[in-house]
Structure 1
Amino acid sequence: MENRNDRFRRRYFNSIDQLLIKLSAAAVILLLVCQVLLLNSDARRYLSLVDKLEGEQITSPATMYAADVPLPDPAEAMNTVNKVFAKSMRSLRSGKDITIRMINPPASIDAVVTVNGKAMGNFSKGKVDITLYDGDYIEIDATKIKKPAQFIIDTHKNDMVFPVDGILLEGQNNLIVVGKVIFRR
């Protein structure tokens, strides 16, 4: 009776050992395949969460001195430095031009285009030409317009995923959200 139990245990443990060896060999092969795929930059974008979250690499110029900025008062000192630094970093990125046209009602200074919360222009000429960067957030402030307002976004066939070229936006007495700018890579 003991021999039968011993044989059963030996077979059971041998089958488990063989299964573990096969699983570990498959895991090593899968690891090697993933490492080879990570050498390719296109595949790395899909396999690595770090590369998705990192964004674009930006190289800053060697000579950038915050001391050259005149500081109005100590309360606003850091804010001024941050604005100058953000502006200089922004100039290193490539931007794309778009035009937002106001169709109805015709030209009005009551509607304002804001990019990242900063006013970029009004529709006094019927359109606003702006340069956008990847990740910018666009809104049209039409809170002062009493009639229904219509806007068309013209991306000039740039490599933009969003906003879509030729999209028609409509609103009245509200803030029209265009959304986050996404460039095609």
Structure 2
Amino acid sequence: MENRNHRFRQKKFLCIDRLLIRLATVAIIALLASQTLMISGETRKYLSLVDKLEGEQITSPATMYAADVPWPDPNKSMNTVNKVVARSMRTLRPGKDIVIRMINPPANADAIVTVNGETVGNFGKGKVEVKIYDGDYLEIDATNVKVPTQFIIDTRRDDIIFPVDGIMLEGRGTVISVGKVIFKR
């Protein structure tokens, strides 16, 4: 009787051993297959959660830029201290100076430069010096100029990705969108 139980246990353990070996073999083959599929960029974005979320902001950090603080209404009465504080809020983050030159026609006060929708200067002298910050949006409003216009943007810096130094923009009676300012980090 004991011999029969011993043989039954041996068969049971032998069956379990075979099952474990087969499961381990299947797991290793599946691992190799998935790693082989991860080599390709197209399949990796479907198999890897990290690649799915790469470039997407998961949590939104609190904005700490002074440009996100709304400007006070100048029509309302403000004391002198509040006016100075409100105008100096943009200096809390580092800015860069760029020059936008109007080369055709040489000078025209009807063309203006806007940063984030606010007028910062006109081309009465042929060029405008602008202090820009990371994330600002630059436009050149030449709607009042009836002849074709050309502008060159001089950043003279290696730490500004966009706008590109020396880029030439052309237009005729339109708003020329320079784009969003991007600094190197």
TM-score by length of 1: 0.61
Match of 2:18, as an amino acid? R
Output aligned runs, 1:16-27, within 5 Å.
16=23, 19=27
> Are the equivalent residues in 2 in contact too, given 1:96–1:158 (CA < 8 A)?
no
Q: Secondary structure at the match of 1:131?
A: strand
> Are the equivalent residues in 2 in contact too, given 1:103–1:151 (CA < 8 A)?
yes
Quickly say closer, same or farther: Cα 1:122–1:181, change in 2 above 3 A: same
* 1:12 equivalenced with 2:16 (yes/no): no
Alpha carbon RMSD of aligned pairs, Å?
Answer: 4.0
CA–CA distance in 2 between the matches of 1:15 and 1:89? 68
* 1:183 equivalenced with 2:183 (yes/no): yes
Q: Secondary structure at the match of 1:91?
A: helix
Please give the per-residue CA displacement for 1:18-37, whole angstroms capped at 9, x wherever unaligned. Answer: 848xx7xxxxxxxxxxxxxx
Equivalent residue, structure 1, for 2:76 = 72
Please give the per-residue CA displacement for 1:33-52, whole angstroms capped at 9, x wherever unaligned. Answer: xxxxxxxxxxxxxx785599
Quickly say closer, same or farther: Cα 1:50–1:115, change in 2 above 3 A: same
**Shift in Å, 1:90:** 1.8
Quickly say closer, same or farther: Cα 1:52–1:15, change in 2 above 3 A: same
Equivalent residue, structure 2, for 1:32 = none
CA–CA distance in 2 between the matches of 1:48 and 1:172? 37
TM-score by length of 2: 0.61
Equivalent residue, structure 1, for 2:49 = none
**Shift in Å, 1:173:** 1.2
Q: Secondary structure at the match of 2:170?
A: strand
**Shift in Å, 1:16:** 2.6
Equivalent residue, structure 2, for 1:138 = 138
Quickly say closer, same or farther: Cα 1:115–1:58, change in 2 above 3 A: closer
Q: Secondary structure at the match of 1:138?
A: strand
Match of 2:127, as an amino acid? K
CA–CA distance in 2 between the matches of 1:15 and 1:90? 66
Larger Rg: 2
**Shift in Å, 1:89:** 3.6
Q: Secondary structure at the match of 2:135?
A: coil
Output aligned runs, 1:10-89, within 5 Å.
10-16=17-23, 19=27, 54=61, 72=76, 87-89=87-89
Equivalent residue, structure 2, for 1:150 = 150
Deviation beyond 4 Å, 4+ runs, structure 1: 2-10, 47-59
Equivalent residue, structure 2, for 1:106 = 106
Match of 2:93, as an amino acid? R
* 1:95 equivalenced with 2:95 (yes/no): yes
User: Tell me, which stretches of 5 or more residues in structure 1 are unaligned?
Assistant: 24-46, 60-68
CA–CA distance in 1 between the matches of 2:178 and 2:55? 30
CA–CA distance in 2 between the matches of 1:70 and 1:120? 17
**Shift in Å, 1:13:** 3.6
Count matched residues: 142
CA–CA distance in 1 between the matches of 2:125 and 2:105? 12
**Shift in Å, 1:144:** 1.2
**Shift in Å, 1:184:** 1.3
